[in-house]
Amino acid sequence: MLSLIARRLLAAIPSVLGIVVVTFVLTRALPGDPAAYYAGPAATAEAVEQIRVKLGLDQPLWRQFLDYAGDLARGDLGLSVSTGQPVSEELLRRLPASLEITLLGLLLAGAIALPLGILAATRPNSWIDHACRLVTTLGVSLPIFFTGLLLAYVFYYLLGWAPPPVGRLDSLYSPPPHWTGFYLIDSLIARDGRVFLSAAGQMVLPVITLALFVLAPIARMTRASMLGVLSSDFVRTARASGLTPATVLYRYAFRNAMLPVLTTLGMVFSFLLGSNVVIEKVFAWPGVGSYAVDALIQSDYAPVQGFVLVMALLFVAINLLIDVLYTVIDPRVSIES
């Protein structure tokens, strides 16, 4: 198992290297000058040029790339021009905020979509099946930023049920002591119930928005996969053997239908990481997505390159985890295949 995982990681190295090169070239092709932004609007041309030399932007593109690759080899993602802080520290500080709502959104979507897809498959053309189709159609049709703005407008502005979309905590509370970076877990470790409730309240609308975005493909794939398995010969044989409907449904049918659903879960998790860029701006969430967008607006190369590299590594880790889970669910599946 370890050797197979090592081979998968080695096979991912060319993709990661390609992402590093493409990201470097594209950031340099974007309009804007980080030296001019750093110097300020009142700076003279000489001052801007001095800052450009200090940042190494006066060097040829190949020389800048070699310097950047050398820094990456040492684990240095560079400094942010806009904040003056190391990019690696900023990403480590902000990544838990993004992962927290992403994982909760995926958990909520799976908790709704999996039972909904199973019920729709076992009761075709019933009201549950029609409801499943309606939910999947709405989930695909509504843009994620529109859903987030609509939820904030209705539940915060009109009804006043949700807290203001101002970040991870209400302004009355301080962040819990840092252990994992996940406010829900850290507040439980600190036994601070008020911070826990405040953090949970701030997450409600972002998590629901993300869940609605990925609920549709999960429910659709679950329904289609279950329909195919329920009509197979081994399921009919299990029913004819006198097994209970619950045993046939969950032990035989659902387990064999899980592989395509698991693939879909991995894909939608990747979609959620990308969608955080929009959601974090809508709800003023201090995650890596909003950090990358602000850096992109300011022509700050290092944070954008660091963000893309971290996302690429997360995608590699997700795909590897899915491959390993394949063998756990169905031992007949080989990672080598």
User: How many other CB atoms sit within 10 Å of the CB of residue 32?
Assistant: 14
Nearest residue to 313 (alpha-carbon basis) of 261, 264, 270, 259: 270
User: What CA–CA distance (Å, rounded) separates 322 from 300?
Assistant: 34
Residue 56, pLDDT above cutoff 60: yes
User: Which domains are seen in the chain, by residue range?
Assistant: 93-329 (1.10.3720.10)
- The whole-number pLDDT of residue 330 equals 66
* 143-196 residue pLDDT tens: 888 888 888 889 988 888 888 888 888 878 888 888 888 989 999 998 888 999
Once rounded to an integer, what is the mean pLDDT over residues 64-74?
A: 82
Tokens 């794939």 belong to residue: 221
Angstrom distances, CA of residue 142 to CA of 214, 221, 283, 285: 11, 19, 18, 21
Confidence bin at 332 (pLDDT 50/70/90): low
Residue 28, pLDDT above cutoff 70: yes
Most confident of 23-27, 124-128, 155-159, 322-326: 155-159
Residue 111, pLDDT above cutoff 60: yes
Sign of CA dihedral 283, 285, 291, 294: positive
Sign of CA dihedral 210, 215, 217, 218: positive
* 228-251 residue pLDDT tens: 888 888 888 878 887 888 888 877
Angstrom distances, CA of residue 286 to CA of 12, 45, 93, 107: 30, 34, 9, 21
* 269-299 residue pLDDT tens: 877 877 788 888 888 888 888 888 888 887 7
- The whole-number pLDDT of residue 248 equals 81
Angstrom distances, CA of residue 311 to CA of 19, 118, 262, 315: 10, 32, 20, 6
